[in-house]
Amino acid sequence: MPVADTLVESNDAIAQGRGTTHVDPVGAFVPVQSRAERTASFDLADFAVPKGREEEWRFTPVKKLAALLAEGSSPALDWLLDLPEGVTTSTITAEAARGLGILPPQDRAAAVAAAGAQEVLLVDIAPEAELTQPVRLLLDGTGTDGAVAHAHLVIRAGHHSRATVVIDHQGRGQLTELVSVLTEDASDLTVVAGQRWADDAIHLAQHDALVGRDSRYRHISVTLGGEVVRLNANVRYAGPGGDATLLGVYFADSGQHLEHRSFVDHNTPHCKSLVTYKGALQGGTARTVWVGDALIRAAAEGTDTYELNRNLILTEGARADSVPNLEIETGEIKGAGHASATGRFDDLQLFYLQARGIPEEEAKRLVVRGFFADVVREIPLPDLRDEVSAAIEAELAATAYAAPTPAPSSPTPDAAPSTTAHSLDRTKEN
């Protein structure tokens, strides 16, 4: 094939969400220049097995993931369901799921999940339903006996509906998972994903949402267990007026690698997004990663977006990587920005609490509770908030941590020694 034809074919593939690289007219290799150019495809052959040097895998311990990234199928998994009135479920084929318009996988693990799941569980929330109780889905990996399992779940919220869906992951096992969310016009959907795995579990997941016109979508991730957990939360818009919020809390102990990635693709005018993730780490080999990507395409005028990541280091040796990325292709926006900070306890806060008779360990727990509070209170149901708070308390109580080496204090727990923040707000500038 002539070089010029190769260039045209590759650019067409990128436009369809399949291409990652191309060659220029003299045959030189051109790497991915934008988040929009990364591969998105249901074809597993479009994703090479990662080596750990790729940009999207360089923080991940890929050597531990060989079994999960290999092609293969698994028996159908049993979901434990608690369905309020107005919600129905069915099993459909992978082809039928694609016909609904779900977003394609964006990495090897999600493609393996889509290809390997023998059936797709479809959860349908009726149009105009207003659920006062959450839809609860429990996936317990213990029954897999450590074998690799694959799961694909589709959640469809009918127009003008209002609902909360809780997806809880527990037990042992190795799981690749694709969760595809479709919110129809003027719907209001909250998805709470809890990762409370056993210490040796491995979980690779992609949670996608296609947000309808004038719809509100919230995704809240609570990750407290597992040896390796990597969860990608992605958003795209099906019409103007969409409002997406991605929230996350995570607590890593020694030996855990907890990785969260988000990608908000502002492809439609007059949409909003807010991304906020907060994590705490204790133990010498605790490791967390957060990578936040936000893309404002040329057509997405009137966009308002912001992403924030905060990490609280509780002991020496723990490591948190935080990488916010923002691409803007139009200047006609309401506002855009990102911020990241990683630091340790505020000595002034600890002194204040201890001076009032609170023991040191309890004072530290109070600081951590306050650190997570603004994310936890966004969980819409009081009993669910209590569950998450209790789980965080259990993590705090599980391991006693030593105070880190003294360092200059910061005025608030969100301010930290290592901080990056950038913003663009044309409204304020004008």
Query: Cα separation of 258 and 265, whole Å?
Result: 23
- Judgement on whether residues 1 and 131 belong to the same structural domain of the protein: no
- Note the pLDDT of residue 399: 57
> Which residue would you say has higher pLDDT here, 308 or 383?
308
Residue-number span of the structural domain to which 2 is assigned: 1-31
Instruction: Give the pLDDT band of residue 382 (cuts 50, 70, 90).
Output: confident
Q: Residue 292: which of 324, 339, 316, 320 has the closest Cα?
A: 324
pTM, 2 dp: 0.86
Residue 348 backbone dihedrals phi, psi, to 5 degrees = -65, -40
Q: Beta partners for 221?
A: 193, 248
DSSP assignment of 40-68: --S-GGGSPPP-S-SGGGTTS-GGGGHHH
Residue matched to tokens 């969409």: 242
Q: Please, are residues 149 and 113 in contact by the beta-carbon 8 Å criterion? A: no
- What order of strands is seen across the sheet that includes strand 120-125? 87-92, 120-125, 148-157, 174-183, 202-211, 228-237, 257-266, 287-296, 319-328
Instruction: Give the pLDDT band of residue 402 (cuts 50, 70, 90).
Output: very low
- Note the pLDDT of residue 33: 67
Query: Cα separation of 131 and 391, whole Å?
Result: 25
Q: Beta partners for 154?
A: 122, 180
Pairing of strands 87-92, 120-125: antiparallel
> Mean of the per-residue pLDDT values for the chain?
86
- Judgement on whether residues 6 and 131 belong to the same structural domain of the protein: no
- Judgement on whether residues 169 and 303 belong to the same structural domain of the protein: yes
The share of the chain scoring above pLDDT 90, in percent, equals 67
- Judgement on whether residues 143 and 286 belong to the same structural domain of the protein: yes
> Which residue would you say has higher pLDDT here, 268 or 1?
268
- Note the pLDDT of residue 413: 41
Highest mean pLDDT among 178-187, 344-353, 374-383: 178-187
Instruction: Give the pLDDT band of residue 4 (cuts 50, 70, 90).
Output: very low
- Note the pLDDT of residue 101: 97
b/e per residue 403-422 (b: at least 16 CB within 10 A): eeeeeebbeebbebeeeeee
- Note the pLDDT of residue 408: 39
pLDDT(267) > 90: yes
**DSSP 8-state code for residue 28:** -
> Which residue would you say has higher pLDDT here, 349 or 291?
291
pLDDT(24) > 60: no
Domain count, the chain: 2
- Note the pLDDT of residue 391: 84
- Judgement on whether residues 14 and 67 belong to the same structural domain of the protein: no
- Note the pLDDT of residue 9: 32
Conformation bin of residue 319: beta by default, left when phi > 0, alpha when psi is -120 to 50: beta
- Judgement on whether residues 335 and 361 belong to the same structural domain of the protein: yes
pLDDT single digits (tens) 50-65: 999 999 999 999 999 9
- Judgement on whether residues 147 and 179 belong to the same structural domain of the protein: yes
- Note the pLDDT of residue 2: 36
Instruction: Give the pLDDT band of residue 250 (cuts 50, 70, 90).
Output: very high
Beta-sheet strands, E only, within 56-126: 79-82, 87-92, 120-125
- Note the pLDDT of residue 73: 82
- Judgement on whether residues 191 and 94 belong to the same structural domain of the protein: yes
Handedness of CA 111, 116, 119, 121 (dihedral sign): negative
- Note the pLDDT of residue 46: 96
119 contact partners, CB below 8 Å, separation of at least 6:
76, 91, 92, 93, 152
Q: Which of 113-122, 136-145, 257-266 has the lowest mean pLDDT?
A: 136-145
**Could you tell me the two tokens for 169?**
């992951």
- Judgement on whether residues 7 and 80 belong to the same structural domain of the protein: no
**Could you tell me the two tokens for 163?**
């609902």
Mean of the pLDDT values across residues 161-176? Answer: 94
Instruction: Give the pLDDT band of residue 266 (cuts 50, 70, 90).
Output: very high
pLDDT single digits (tens) 88-98: 999 999 999 99
- Judgement on whether residues 320 and 232 belong to the same structural domain of the protein: yes
- Judgement on whether residues 239 and 258 belong to the same structural domain of the protein: yes
Query: Cα separation of 291 and 169, whole Å?
Result: 22
**Could you tell me the two tokens for 368?**
């951590």
Q: How far is CA 260 from CA 89, 182, 271, 282, 397, in A?
A: 28, 21, 23, 17, 24
Instruction: Give the pLDDT band of residue 130 (cuts 50, 70, 90).
Output: very high
- Judgement on whether residues 17 and 47 belong to the same structural domain of the protein: no
